[in-house]
Structure 1
Amino acid sequence: MLAAAGGLVAATTLPIPGAAASAHAALPRAAAQEPPSAAASFGNPVIWQDFADIDVIRVGDTFYYSASTMHYSPGAPILRSYDLVNWEFAGHSLPRLDFGAKYDLNGGRGYVRGVWASSLAYRPSNRTFYWLGQIDFAQTHVYTATSVEGPWSRHTTLPTYYDAGLLVDTDDTMYVAYGNTQISVAQLSPDGRTQVRAQQVFSTPASIGTLEGARFYRINGAHYIFLTRPANGQYILRSTSGPFGPYTLRQVLLNLPGPIPGGGVPHQGGLVQTQAGDWYYLAFVDAYPGGRVPALAPVTWTSDGWPQLQLVNGAWGASYPMPNLPTPPRQVTPLIGVDTFQGTALKPAWEWNHNPDTGRYTVNNGLTLRTATVTGDLYWARNTLTHRIQGPSSTATITLDHAAMRDGDRAGLALLRDSSAWIGLKRDNGTTRLVMVDGLTMDSNWNTTGTGTERATTPHTGTRIWLRATADIRPGSGRQARFSYSTDGTTFTTFGPAFTLNNAWQFFMGYRYAIFNHATQALGGAVTVTRFELATP
């Protein structure tokens, strides 16, 4: 519930039988009634893009942020920041979804499977990053790297740790907190590759319902397990008797108004401490059709060692003072802008819909997509390349060279989710048409129920075209997207009717801009994207 004084979240302690009642001798940071003053402020969400199931850590003067990606490959992106507000892509923990043929769109599909809530940690003793996550609600996998840019290596398979939070304790022992409603802790072997011990440490009261999304911390001698009540609450467990408890529970927030109009309650995510000793909570907000986007708020601590969220007028603030941090060593790379596909590898902002066929695309002063699948269904087409949409609204424009398309080929720019639409080219019987297509749909089991209906068409000559999609991903009744094209890169013509983006949450991932080229008759055709631009109004 909300406390009136100071705009803090009041918490009610629910003791577990036998739980220790002693308080900290030392506290993480003194409680404060108001956020500290600062000359500058930041706005929420700190990133208006889809980065859910947040784990956030600090290594030295650098913050890192890991997120879920479901069926997209590479998986588990890592963002980097020097101030907790401005973020850039650094890499991916999972180079490939190496968990079966369905992630290759080979005899099966992995939609709404793959990488769910996972954990990122840094181990100072061997200067190594650890990623730990459960795939397909089955086994848990461990990946390691000495740099977030990679290379990342998979080492082992552990038991099933649902929504795992990884802790490297102060004595270098590694623990995992995990579970849904019944919360457990496992101790790992010194190399982090096998389980030494596991024990249930908490059972969620029926009055609360479900708790999951564990994040595991040791703060001033006490162990904390940070848990979410999806999708409207956040709770925390504390033990002063070691990682296996007993634990006491407090509520951090419940039904708290969020910073995005029409969006949900900030929840899940993690806690992080700055070099100056300040604490912050980085949560996500359900904001479909865009997805789950991160919001940041400062945290203080009570005199007896519990975290309290700093509120603004009884809500998660739309803005707060900037964190008190050293001047960044450099500006981070913006999450929007132009990509001309220089070099020989894709930048980490890009993720494929399922694993790509690596032999059928190249990056070299442009992105060349050779057809990789013969299908009439975009949801089965391999080598569909996706980019997150920038909110609250943004425009993606691609420059497409299509001289090497073959009869039966389909290429273009899509708004991709379980209800999709696209603008692009159809090549048939030696002629090329520009088309706008909607009605690409899936059912609740993520099987295709519609492969698309042409809503506009016109003949197209030449070998180059500019394709554009503009999407408004603000929650609410609008959610409109429009397509347009140009033959000179300057004057754009709206093409086809507006497309209403689906704001149901069950697909979990938000809409993405997607570049595709697939065959309906035979392989052999190709297109080249020489430029991609993501811009905001």
Structure 2
Amino acid sequence: MSCPRHYWGRRRALTAAAGLASGAFLPLTAAARGIAAENPALAAADFTNPVVWQDFADIDVIRVGTTYYASASTMHYSPGAPVLRSYDLVNWEIAGHSVPSLDFGAKYDLNGGRGYVRGIWASSLAYRPSNRTFYWLGQIDFARTYIYTATAAEGPWSRHTTISTPYYDAGLLVDTDDTLYVAYGNSTISVAQLSPDGRTQVRSQQVFTTPSSVGTLEGSRFYKINGQYYIFLTRPANGQYILKSSSGPFGPYTMRQVLLDLRGPIPGGGVPHQGGLVQTQNGAWYYLAFVDAYPGGRVPALAPVTWTSDGWPVVQLVNGAWGASYPAPVVPTPPRQVTPMIGVDTFDGTTLKPRWEWNHNPDNTKWSVNNGLTLRTATVTNDLYWARNTLTHRIQGPTSTATVQLDHSTMRDGDRAGLALLRDSSAWIGLKRDGGATRLVMVDGLTMDGNWNTTGTGVERASATAPGGRVWLRATADIRPGAPRPATFSYSTDGVTFTRLGPAFSMGNDWRFFMGYRFALFNHATQALGGAVRVTRFELSTP
């Protein structure tokens, strides 16, 4: 048998030639199985679920050579559609964003309208070996489909084209002959063929109607595996089904249930669903799904998949459930450690790290990074949900703490600045400056209704005298599903000793806002623009 190094070189060449990174796959060979068995260095210990306890939903996952990439929904947050990167399917980092700005209308700028629970819904990520290009495809506001491309996952990404057909919950397939296909729809599932340059639709055809006994199917992921076409579909929020065609991408398709009402790996959380299938370098298959785990959001979980002799996927269970742990995928030693999603950010350099996303598009004239983050007031409002330049960070589960060091010496009368737990029911700790005096306050009662209109702009629950020009603010969030989902706030004058401020805040766990709670840095005016705060340090830590 050839040495592993030479085998992996041949395997990568086959992968590129056959388009395996973008949804078309080859079977695992006996040689690959033998290499894995003979090389324990390629193996690893067990991993635990969720593999990422942060909010990354509607996952699409691919492999390009020895690297895995995933994309997720971000709704109204900007930049949108994060690209996650991994070398082992277990440890992930944020590489960049496929949608640099939500330039889909004024409401995404909080200008005359708001884009809450709009924007980036379930979308697709693919790689096209023929031009060595990544593709992101998604529909916005049920109106148009947008395609962005990049030659590297971290970007820069640019809009490639728009298509008048809104491909709802689409999955993009780069076939082995380089043809681009899109599977999409809700219950009525269609397949579209795109032009060779991906700029126009050549053909669209309905290929499947979901039986009434099943209900709703959506969230398409499109694959070609061993010459057969598969559309992977979710039944929200408790099932996963797959369609298979032996006659080409336009069918006909037959359906089989993959899972239904399966116990998930997070106590109190939901059924893993709406993710994607991916094949490792040595031919093993995995399903990366998400688990509804509010108030934290929808978090990724991983499970191995085997195939029946007649070509249907089977999720491997542990005691009749999606496993809380499994043996880690057998992969070559990663070239480096991925960047942790928690830890300290001192805003070094002049750009934000990809862990950060704004609530709607920011006013780029009102913020800057230069070895510290400066937030100038960008909106005059008494409603945080209308305030531009609120910068958000996902919460790490099951519990985590965000601590910020903030200089408030250049705030102006009427300004409000601080650290929030942001969702449709929000609370914050921070500073109010009025009449030349600055106070520390804890505020809750910021609320929206089911149409995402503001119903409460906040109630001050506690206050204290603000120290000098610098203060440390802290929020601790327990995002384990179930009651009481508490969050607490505290402050410090020296960064060492912290004093609790205000009552505990019970985070909401309704799914309809879709996105989970986030830590958020904000500074807005209630009287006039001109004030600013400077954040010199942010730390996300776990117990």
* TM-score using structure 1 length: 0.93
Q: 2:235 aligns with which of 209, 229, 241?
A: 229
Corresponding residue for 1:78?
A: 83
Residue 94 of structure 2 corresponds to residue 93 of structure 1:
no
Q: 1:112 aligns with which of 109, 117, 135?
A: 117
Corresponding residue for 1:130?
A: 135
Corresponding residue for 2:15?
A: none
- 2:365 alignment partner, SS class: helix
Cα deviation for residue 27 of structure 1 reads: 5.7
Q: 1:358 aligns with which of 355, 364, 370?
A: 364
Cα deviation for residue 461 of structure 1 reads: 3.1
Corresponding residue for 2:337?
A: 331
Is the CA contact 2:467–2:493 (under 8 Å) kept in the aligned structure 1? Answer: no
Cα deviation for residue 459 of structure 1 reads: 1.8
State how far apart, in whole Å, the 1-side matches of 2:160 and 2:541 are.
Answer: 40
Residue 186 of structure 2 corresponds to residue 206 of structure 1:
no
Residue 290 of structure 2 corresponds to residue 284 of structure 1:
yes
State how far apart, in whole Å, the 2-side matches of 1:135 and 1:395 are.
Answer: 34
Q: Percent identity?
A: 82
- 2:108 alignment partner, SS class: helix
- 1:46 alignment partner, SS class: coil
- 2:216 alignment partner, SS class: coil
Corresponding residue for 1:251?
A: 257
- AA aligned opposite 1:114: G
Q: Once superposed, what is the RMSD of the aligned Cα atoms?
A: 1.3
Corresponding residue for 1:41?
A: 46
Residue 301 of structure 2 corresponds to residue 295 of structure 1:
yes
Cα deviation for residue 155 of structure 1 reads: 2.1
Corresponding residue for 2:148?
A: 143
Deviation sequence 1:371-392 (CA, Å, 0-9, x none)? 0000000000000000000000
- AA aligned opposite 2:215: G
- AA aligned opposite 1:254: L
Q: 1:513 aligns with which of 508, 519, 522?
A: 519
Higher-helix-fraction structure: 2
Cα deviation for residue 39 of structure 1 reads: 5.5
Corresponding residue for 1:8?
A: none
Corresponding residue for 1:482?
A: 488
Over 6 Å off, 4+ runs = none
Corresponding residue for 1:441?
A: 447
Corresponding residue for 2:393?
A: 387
Cα deviation for residue 149 of structure 1 reads: 1.2
Deviation sequence 1:322-361 (CA, Å, 0-9, x none)? 1000000000000000000011110000000000000000
- AA aligned opposite 2:189: I
- 2:47 alignment partner, SS class: strand
Cα deviation for residue 211 of structure 1 reads: 0.3
Cα deviation for residue 437 of structure 1 reads: 0.1
Deviation sequence 1:450-484 (CA, Å, 0-9, x none)? 00000001121300000000000000112000000
Q: 1:55 aligns with which of 39, 54, 60?
A: 60
State how far apart, in whole Å, the 1-side matches of 2:27 and 2:335 are.
Answer: 31
State how far apart, in whole Å, the 2-side matches of 1:458 and 1:483 are.
Answer: 13
Gap regions ≥5 residues in structure 1:
1-25
Deviation sequence 1:493-522 (CA, Å, 0-9, x none)? 111000000000000000000000000000
- 1:324 alignment partner, SS class: coil
State how far apart, in whole Å, the 2-side matches of 1:44 and 1:224 are.
Answer: 26
Is the CA contact 2:28–2:282 (under 8 Å) kept in the aligned structure 1? Answer: no
Question: Aligned residues, how many?
Answer: 508
- AA aligned opposite 2:366: R
Residue 35 of structure 2 corresponds to residue 69 of structure 1:
no
Residue 461 of structure 2 corresponds to residue 455 of structure 1:
yes
Gap regions ≥5 residues in structure 2:
1-25
- AA aligned opposite 2:70: Y
State how far apart, in whole Å, the 1-side matches of 2:183 and 2:268 are.
Answer: 32
State how far apart, in whole Å, the 1-side matches of 2:215 and 2:495 are.
Answer: 54
- AA aligned opposite 1:101: A
Is the CA contact 1:27–1:303 (under 8 Å) kept in the aligned structure 2? Answer: no
- AA aligned opposite 1:456: A
- Segment drifting more, 150-159 vs 468-477: 150-159
- 1:67 alignment partner, SS class: strand
Is the CA contact 1:228–1:234 (under 8 Å) kept in the aligned structure 2? Answer: yes
Q: 1:156 to 1:401 in 2, by over 3 A?
A: same
Is the CA contact 1:28–1:301 (under 8 Å) kept in the aligned structure 2? Answer: no
State how far apart, in whole Å, the 1-side matches of 2:27 and 2:291 are.
Answer: 29
- AA aligned opposite 1:80: R
- 1:103 alignment partner, SS class: helix
Corresponding residue for 2:11?
A: none
